[in-house]
Structure 1
Amino acid sequence: MYRYDEFDATLVAERVAQFRGQVNRRLSGELTEDQFKPLRLMNGVYLQLHAYMLRVAIPYGTLTSQKMRKLAHIARKYDKGYGHLTTRQNIQFNWPALVDVPDILDELAEVEMHAIQTSGNCIRNTTSDQYAGATAEEVEDPRPYAEMIRQWSTFHPEFSYLPRKFKIAVTAADRDRAAVKFHDIGLRIHKNDAGEVGFEVYVGGGLGRTPFVGPTIREFLPKEYLLSYLEAILRVYNQQGRRDNKFKARIKILVNSEGVDGFANLVETEWNQIKNSGVDLPREEIDRIHAYFASPKFENLSGESKTHKAKIAEDKEFARWARTNLAEHKTSGYSIVNISVKPIGGIPGDISDIQMEAVADIAERFSFDEMCVTHEQNLVLPHVKKDDLFAVWSALKAVDLATANIGLVSDIIACPGLDYCSLANTRSIPIAQRIAERFSDFQKQEDLGELKIKISGCINACGHHHAGHIGILGVDKKGEEFYQITLGGSGAEDAAIGEIAGRGFSSDQVVDAVEKLVDYYKNNRQDKERFLDTYRRLGAQPFKEALYDAA
């Protein structure tokens, strides 16, 4: 994990002091809310329905136990005892008092964390694959490049006030766990035919009112030119992106209006003017950043673990969790542990201070003091010995973090919705809870297989409903909460935008509607097809008929 140098520490400390003065002026009335808004947004502070919300950056999702314990302390001291994990691998605190926010930022700085650029029209937190550094699937670890982007983009003078917010994601595996094609810029590290490592560059993906799957504008970018190429993309966007209409200001609109080839040509022209101007990092700086991400000192272990096998044989609950929540590690004798923050009936992504401290203890003891927030609002322990898996599961179970549902029907992404957000039309959390309760039988969940349900409380799509196998969008219908269903979306390497099924359903009807879709899938799948595979094979029409027949 990257550690701050003296420049990082000074930069963060100075920003906290600056923001403390701005908060004091707001509280004294010297600044109006309209004057304060752009200042607080650049420091991660939103004004929601009931209170201010603070979004804390977790670059590429990676945390140490020290950082996680600090987040637990903040949740307990300044909030209501919990935080909310987000789809950008950040954490949000929903109830801080504005007067306390500078103190929170001071405490975060003690453990090399901040809230800079987690909101506002700037380059946001760079996200990545939660299995980075642990999976054999990757060409190389994407996190050093995410860190380079973080350092390059923080307080970049040219890109601090873009036409709209801007999001970048980096992955290095063919299997996409970071939804890179739904980002303003998505980067996939791969090898070309000559065996050289570089980036495939996607630009113009996004959700919201006008969803797009990001097209490829460059098949292969040599990795030494990463920052200059990003600079060229941002310059084109900053100069030509619309500022007259915020609904048409994202880069996806510019890419669509110029056409993929036209936009790519603009970027290439700009890049050829700047690529040798010193924007890219010197080799020694690249090596310095890479050194922070060296693999832990793994033990030389057998691929099998007699302890693990024995525990699976004697404990059915543990065996089920092992089937759903473990992933293969690149090193023999180790596993990647997925921690579900989606207990049946719980609030998706909410984690208590007690749970945070427990995960910190477990990571410190069993995972080389490392953990990661996932794009799907869960957690990962990237490096756990197979011999230790039962002990890890037991410790997680003690704090209600051992739900065996990763990737299954109850592992739902949901935005905060109308319970918190002033932009929302409907509630998302209660719908997610009711769906999870309807499908609470874990054996039946496992039988259904991978089924991704995603819920947004408004068209801004913070719950990524467009990318759900089953997506649910909250809409206002004459003052009543209704829910529109989309089908066939995917946020993975086979990225697709879900198709609207038809008319919406009331809050009382929507869970039954989801069950109808699931039942139709169960009755018509072949072999062990996923929901998405069955949908793509049969097409939309039979699913729509099943959904609306006798509805």
Structure 2
Amino acid sequence: MYVYDQYDQHIIEDRVRQFRDQTRRYLAGELSGEEFRPLRLQNGLYIQRYAPMLRVAVPYGLLSSRQLRKLAEIARNYDKGYAHISTRQNVQFNWPELEDVPDILAELATVQMHAIQTSGNCIRNTTTDQFAGVARDELIDPRPWCEIIRQWSTFHPEFAFLPRKFKIAVNGAVSDRAAIEVHDIGLEAVQNAAGELGFRVSVGGGLGRTPIVGSFINEFLPWKHLLTYLDAILRVYNRYGRRDNKFKARIKILVKALTPEVFAERVEAEWAHLKDGPATLTEAEVERVSRFFIDPAYKALEDQDAALAALDAEHPGFARWRSRNVVAHKKPGYAAVTLSLKPTGVAPGDITDKQLDAVAELADRYCFGEVRNSHEQNIILADVEQSQLFTLWNELRELGLAVPNVGLLTDMICCPGGDFCSLANAKSIPIAESIQRRFDDLDYLFDIGELDLNISGCMNACGHHHVGHIGILGVDKKGAEFYQVSLGGSAGRNASLGQILGPSFAQDAMPDVIEKIIAVYVERRSEDEQFLDTFRRIGLDPFKERVYAANH
């Protein structure tokens, strides 16, 4: 993973000192709330419903065990003993005291972490595949490219005050596990007929009030032009994006208004001034960054298929866990393991200080001292020897991190909702828990199969409800909390937005509603069909008829 040099460290420490003085001045009444607001947002600090929320940057989701231990320490000393993994692979603290935030940022700086550009109208954390560098279907490791984008975008003077927040995702594999088509910019690694590396560029994707799947405006951008082309896109957005209405300020609105074709023409015209300029990437620069992402000291191992099959037969719980939470690795004898942060009764994505410390210990013993956060709000140990999987499983069971539900209905994405967020129309966490409790039968969950259920407490869509196979949106109806359901969304390749099922439902009806939707799928599916396949084949009406027929 990337390691700070002396300049990086100096910049971060300077920012901490600067924000410490800004906070002091605000608490002393020398800065108004309006004056302090852009300063705190530049340092990842929100004022939520009951307390500040601090969002800590985790570039492309990669963390060292040392950083995990520091996050655990902060959770213990400055919060309520837990942290939250966000859908941008970042870490959030929901209960810090405002006067403690400069101390927290100083602690983070000691382990090469910060909260810069995790909020505000700037380029946010660049995200990627949680299995980057180890996936068998990978064309390239996207992490060096994410790091190049991070270094380009951090403190970029032109793009510090964009019309609205801006999100970039990079995918280097055959499967799109980075959801690039619902990002402001999505980058997919491709090769041309000559075998040269480039990027397919999508622009104008995003969720929120106006969900839009992005448009591909460049089918092959040579890698050396990556930053100059990104510069051109951001310049066009900065120039033509709306600033009079924050609900119409995202780049997706501009791309739709101009049409993707016209937007692409304006990018090309702007790029003509930048192409082959100083920001053109060189092989030496890419090599410099790539050196931080070389393979760890893998052993020469053989796949342990027969031994693992024997353990599966003897321990059904292990077999279940291995089938859901363990994926194939590019190196023989290794596997990537997902630690589910979705046990029933715990807010999805939450992890305690004790668990953070324990995961750091596991990372050191099993995984070369590194972990990854996923945008599905789980944690990954990416380099586990297959011969150690059974021992690891037993340790994870003791920690409450071995729930075998990854990719299943109860492995849901869920924003903090009305329990924390001042923007939310409704609570999200109680809905998640009520559905988890209704579907607590693992046999039934496994029978249902792959299913993404995403929950957002408001139209800002932090829970990505638009691209859930089943999406749930909290809405306000005359001061009461209700929930709108959509079906058929997908964040992967050829992304799609869900279709609204119909009128919204009261909170206590939601487990029944989901149960009826699942019942239609189970009755109507054909062999080997997953939920999304069945929905696309039979359409919305059969689900609608079942759900609303019982309510009249």
User: Shorter-chain TM-score: which interval?
Assistant: over 0.9
Residues 1:72 and 2:80 aligned together: no
Q: Are the counterparts in 1 of residues 371 and 379 from structure 2 also a CA contact under 8 Å?
A: yes
Cα deviation 1:3-27 (Å, max 9, x = unaligned)? 0011111111111111111000111
Cα deviation 1:275-304 (Å, max 9, x = unaligned)? 122012333222110011001121111122
Tell me the residue number matched to 2:416.
416
Distance in 1 between the 2:49 and 2:518 partners?
Answer: 34
Identical columns (%):
56
Task: State the 1:549 CA deviation.
Answer: 1.1
Distance in 2 between the 1:92 and 1:2 partners?
Answer: 21
Tell me the residue number matched to 2:193.
193
SS of equivalent to 2:3: coil
What is the letter of the counterpart of residue 310 of structure 1? A
Task: State the 1:319 CA deviation.
Answer: 1.1
Where do residues 330-479 of structure 1 align in structure 2 (5 Å cutoff)? 330-479=330-479
Task: State the 1:494 CA deviation.
Answer: 2.7
What is the letter of the counterpart of residue 186 of structure 2? G
Q: TM-score if structure 1 supplies the norm length?
A: 0.99
Tell me the residue number matched to 2:95.
95
Tell me the residue number matched to 1:265.
265
Tell me the residue number matched to 1:544.
544
Distance in 2 between the 1:264 and 1:233 partners?
Answer: 9
Q: Are the counterparts in 1 of residues 203 and 252 from structure 2 also a CA contact under 8 Å?
A: yes
Where do residues 238-253 of structure 1 align in structure 2 (5 Å cutoff)? 238-253=238-253
Task: State the 1:307 CA deviation.
Answer: 4.4
Q: Are the counterparts in 2 of residues 173 and 190 from structure 1 also a CA contact under 8 Å?
A: no
Number of residue pairs matched?
Answer: 551
Q: Are the counterparts in 1 of residues 490 and 497 from structure 2 also a CA contact under 8 Å?
A: yes
SS of equivalent to 1:89: coil
Task: State the 1:174 CA deviation.
Answer: 2.1
- What stretches of structure 1 of length at least 5 have no aligned partner? none
Tell me the residue number matched to 2:139.
139
Cα deviation 1:222-277 (Å, max 9, x = unaligned)? 11111111000000000110000000000000000110110001101111111122
Cα deviation 1:172-214 (Å, max 9, x = unaligned)? 1121111111100000112122221110100000001100000
Task: State the 1:309 CA deviation.
Answer: 3.3
Task: State the 1:308 CA deviation.
Answer: 2.9
Tell me the residue number matched to 2:177.
177
Q: Are the counterparts in 2 of residues 305 and 387 from structure 1 also a CA contact under 8 Å?
A: no
Q: TM-score if structure 2 supplies the norm length?
A: 0.99
Tell me the residue number matched to 1:23.
23
Distance in 2 between the 1:272 and 1:392 partners?
Answer: 54
Q: Are the counterparts in 1 of residues 223 and 281 from structure 2 also a CA contact under 8 Å?
A: no
Tell me the residue number matched to 2:10.
10
Distance in 1 between the 2:305 and 2:110 partners?
Answer: 40
SS of equivalent to 1:193: coil
Task: State the 1:535 CA deviation.
Answer: 0.2
Cα deviation 1:309-331 (Å, max 9, x = unaligned)? 33222211111100110111001
Q: Are the counterparts in 1 of residues 304 and 387 from structure 2 also a CA contact under 8 Å?
A: no
Residues 1:115 and 2:115 aligned together: yes
What is the letter of the counterpart of residue 478 of structure 1? K
Tell me the residue number matched to 1:167.
167
What is the letter of the counterpart of residue 5 of structure 2? D
Distance in 1 between the 2:17 and 2:365 partners?
Answer: 36
SS of equivalent to 1:502: coil
What is the letter of the counterpart of residue 478 of structure 2? K
Q: Are the counterparts in 2 of residues 484 and 502 from structure 1 also a CA contact under 8 Å?
A: yes
Distance in 2 between the 1:210 and 1:96 partners?
Answer: 32
Residues 1:56 and 2:67 aligned together: no
Cα deviation 1:18-59 (Å, max 9, x = unaligned)? 111100011101111111111000100000000000000000
What is the letter of the counterpart of residue 286 of structure 1? V
SS of equivalent to 1:274: coil
